[in-house]
Amino acid sequence: MAAPHPETLQTAVVTGGASGLGALTVKALHRAGFRVVITDLISAPAERLAQELDLAGETAMAATLDVSKPEDFQRVLDRCVERWGSVEVLVNNAARTVVKPVLDIGLDEFNAVMATNAGGTFAGCQIFGRHFKQRGYGRLINMASLAGQNGGTATGAHYAASKGAILTLTKVFARDLAPFGVTCNAIAPGPMDTPAVRAVLTPDRLPMALAGIPVGTLGNPDFVADLVTLLAKPDSGFVTGACWDVNGGIYMR
């Protein structure tokens, strides 16, 4: 199947889309003309965001999804196809961590973080990738992290390991699906100016953190959301298997 015409309304599913960077991504995609499916573990915030974007529910929908359960991905995909006929974009954004020194992380805790972050990305790419392959078009966009590139432990070694795995999975799916009109790319943000980061970087710690960033500022999360939108568009088809670094120069290659 040929790529959809740029003016054709497309559907984008965002995991962990009810808050933080996920919510900014949902809003950016909706502004760009995509129908959006806001998925999250907790339904109420996702429902509120969907109603905020489109009270009539014609271009925004909420769905409960546990990314560690492949059957949840399939259920959301089936619901979208039933309602709108197809899905064109999946943004694997959902993630979790528990900040601990590497020597204090138990195996169960390590596996739980990996199951959500890397396992959820794998399941999403696999299940939606089958749909995209069958249609002959699709965009898979995975949220990685600077921690997965440089082995940073500020967010936990298990988090860093899971994000490193996402970078590898992105390349594997990109190679496998490229002949079928499907792209798969990753974005690796560094420290973003978000409430969560500001909670960690208290005023007394912020100057030291900024000193370690070559451009001297925290990143703008809205730019990351706009970058997702760029990669979601039909004319991004010549970009696949790439990792887009948004880190203020902390990691250069």
Separation CA 253–CA 251 (nearest Å): 7
Element (H, E) at 26: helix 20-31
Q: What angle is formed at CA 181 by the lines to CA 138 and CA 252, rounded to 5 degrees?
A: 80
The residues that are catalytic are 159
Cα-Cα-Cα-Cα dihedral sign, residues 235, 240, 246, 249: negative
Q: What angle is formed at CA 246 by the lines to CA 68 and CA 220, rounded to 5 degrees?
A: 95
- Residue of 37, 32, 38, 36 lying closest to 6 (CA atoms): 32
Q: Are 139 and 232 in contact (CB under 8 A)?
A: yes
Main-chain phi, psi angles of 186, to 5 degrees: -125, 155
